[in-house]
């Protein structure tokens, strides 16, 4: 349903944004970030026939004429055929963008830093760009039968990146974390690279990268989420079988790139599926100021999907206040899937995702109950004209919720 009333209740479409709460975005927009002045910056360019661009929107959801050419800056990248993926706004006012090498067998990923005016910052990496390559990863560290050899180094010659990538920055240290999937003849694994603030490889982080594997090192793994946690980094996804279904997990790596064995059980938290045939995956992780962790995603049971939320203490133990210390599986909409989660002032949990043809935003109290002051029933829907998929969600400094859908369009709700 399209909420068009002038009510100011939380969960109501913000009619001052775009066209009755919805702002149209440039074609091929893949990522959005909120800025300190309530403006937004978006990143687009997933077609080789169109340039990579950064656009800035005013608080009203219109192109900001003071930025670039009518609100849009074309990102000038020399060398690689790069496609857009993600943008992050830094506290300095600059931006980080991530992209991937065009082609089926992609072996490179890129991180670029832009200045406040959208121009490439040539002081970052090499001419503004840091390049991450599969060939830099030791092949003996991946997949079934993995082992670490001290007397020789092997590198991957036939592996490639695949699926989505993740980019987060520690504003405390300036370190940049980039997470991705890789696949080779040795199997599937996740990898997290760490860069210094200037774009150079941070070799103090396990030589520059760490592999994300199952506990026994033999199961394929999905890496679907990444976030800073204190002086370490959290990853989440699913421990999978060959069909990519399995148990949802979280892992924590410390500041030197090793598994933090003080977190969960030996560094890993598993959300087990039990004996009912359920399979789950964590697609988003959000960390509160007190170290509290919210993980959200989706769970499939009997051919239908449910939204998954679990809350953990900083040590990886289940938080006993949220849903009595158990993961929450919600089905208030048919085939519910949660794509993103954020803490709202450390008091509320906002999740966004989709049901059958709908974009959905919901708000939960810290005990796991739906917050009935949000949209009157704890959740709101917006019927999407385009592709109903949530790509990301952001909280503005004035506590509004901006959701990027695959239309592409941005929807803003009052908080």
- Encode pLDDT of 142-177 as tens digits: 443 333 333 333 445 577 887 778 999 998 899 999
Residue 127 class from Cβ within 10 Å (0-12 exposed, 13-18 middle, 19+ buried)? Answer: middle
Range of weakest confidence among 59-73, 88-102, 192-206, 383-397: 383-397
Q: Structural domain tally of the chain?
A: 1
Please give the Cα distance from 268 to 215 (Å, whole number). Answer: 8
Domain that holds residue 160: 75-146+154-213
DSSP character at residue 410:
E
Mean pLDDT of the chain: 85
In a domain, 138, yes or no: yes
In a domain, 387, yes or no: no
Structure confidence at residue 412 as a pLDDT band (50, 70, 90): very high
DSSP character at residue 327:
-
Percent of the chain with pLDDT over 70: 86
Structure confidence at residue 309 as a pLDDT band (50, 70, 90): very high
In a domain, 353, yes or no: no
Range of weakest confidence among 141-145, 251-255, 274-278, 391-395: 141-145
Please give the Cα distance from 139 to 142 (Å, whole number). Answer: 6
pLDDT, tens only, 329-372: 999 988 899 999 999 877 899 999 888 778 889 999 999 999 99
Residue 302: predicted pLDDT: 82
In a domain, 393, yes or no: no
Q: Which residues contact 144 (CB under 8 A, 6 or more apart)?
A: 186, 187, 217, 218
In a domain, 169, yes or no: yes
Please give the Cα distance from 341 to 344 (Å, whole number). Answer: 10
Residue 275: predicted pLDDT: 63
**Is 322 in a helix, a strand, or coil?**
helix
In a domain, 126, yes or no: yes
Residue 79: predicted pLDDT: 67
Phi-psi label, residue 277: left if phi above 0, alpha if psi -120 to 50, beta otherwise: left
Other Cβ atoms less than 10 A from the Cβ of 326: the count is: 13
Residue 188 class from Cβ within 10 Å (0-12 exposed, 13-18 middle, 19+ buried)? Answer: buried
Residue 274: predicted pLDDT: 64
Residue 296: predicted pLDDT: 96
pTM of this structure: 0.90
In a domain, 136, yes or no: yes
Please give the Cα distance from 11 to 36 (Å, whole number). Answer: 22
pLDDT tops 70 at residue 258:
yes
In a domain, 179, yes or no: yes
Please give the Cα distance from 175 to 168 (Å, whole number). Answer: 9
pLDDT, tens only, 209-250: 998 877 666 667 888 999 999 999 999 988 875 555 678 999
Are 367 and 321 in contact by the 8 Å Cβ rule? The answer is yes
Percent of the chain with pLDDT over 90: 56
């Amino acid at each position: 349903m399209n909420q068009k009333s002038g009510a100011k209740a939380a969960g109501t479409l913000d009619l001052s944004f775009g066209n009755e709460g919805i702002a149209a975005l440039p074609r091929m927009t893949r990522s959005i970030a909120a800025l300190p002045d309530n403006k937004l910056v978006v990143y687009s360019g997933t077609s080789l026939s169109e340039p990579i661009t950064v656009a800035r929107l005013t608080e009203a959801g219109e192109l900001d004429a003071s930025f670039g050419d009518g609100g849009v800056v074309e990102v000038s990248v020399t060398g690689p055929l790069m496609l857009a993926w993600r943008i992050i706004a830094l506290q300095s006012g600059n931006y980080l963008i991530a992209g991937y090498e065009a082609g089926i067998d992609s072996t490179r990923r890129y991180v670029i830093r832009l200045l406040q005016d959208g121009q490439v910052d040539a002081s970052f990496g090499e001419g503004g760009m840091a390049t991450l390559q599969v060939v830099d990863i030791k092949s003996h560290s991946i997949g079934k039968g993995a082992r670490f050899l001290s007397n020789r180094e092997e590198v991957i010659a036939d592996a490639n990146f695949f699926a989505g990538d993740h980019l987060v920055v520690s504003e405390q240290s300036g370190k940049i974390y980039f997470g991705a999937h890789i696949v080779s003849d040795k199997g599937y694994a996740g990898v997290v690279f760490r860069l210094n603030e200037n774009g150079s490889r941070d070799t103090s982080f396990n030589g520059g990268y760490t592999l994300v594997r199952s506990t026994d090192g033999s199961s394929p793994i999905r890496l679907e989420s990444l976030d800073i946690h204190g002086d370490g980094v959290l990853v989440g996804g699913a421990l999978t079988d060959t069909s990519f279904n399995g148990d949802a997990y979280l892992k924590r790596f410390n500041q030197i790139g090793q598994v933090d064995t003080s977190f969960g059980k030996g560094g890993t938290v598993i959300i087990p599926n039990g004996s009912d045939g359920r399979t789950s995956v964590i697609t988003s992780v959000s960390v509160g100021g007190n170290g509290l962790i919210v993980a959200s995603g989706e769970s499939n049971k009997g051919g239908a999907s449910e939204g998954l939320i679990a809350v953990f203490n900083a040590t990886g133990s289940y938080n006993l206040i949220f849903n009595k210390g158990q993961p929450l599986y919600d089905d208030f909409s048919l085939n519910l899937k949660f794509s993103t989660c954020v803490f709202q002032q450390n008091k509320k949990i906002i999740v966004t995702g989709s049901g059958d043809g709908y974009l959905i935003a919901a708000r939960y109290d810290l005990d796991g109950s739906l917050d009935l002051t949000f949209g009157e029933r704890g959740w709101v829907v917006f019927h999407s004209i385009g592709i109903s998929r949530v790509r990301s969600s952001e909280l503005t400094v004035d506590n509004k919720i901006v959701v990027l859908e695959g239309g592409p369009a941005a929807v803003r709700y009052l908080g």
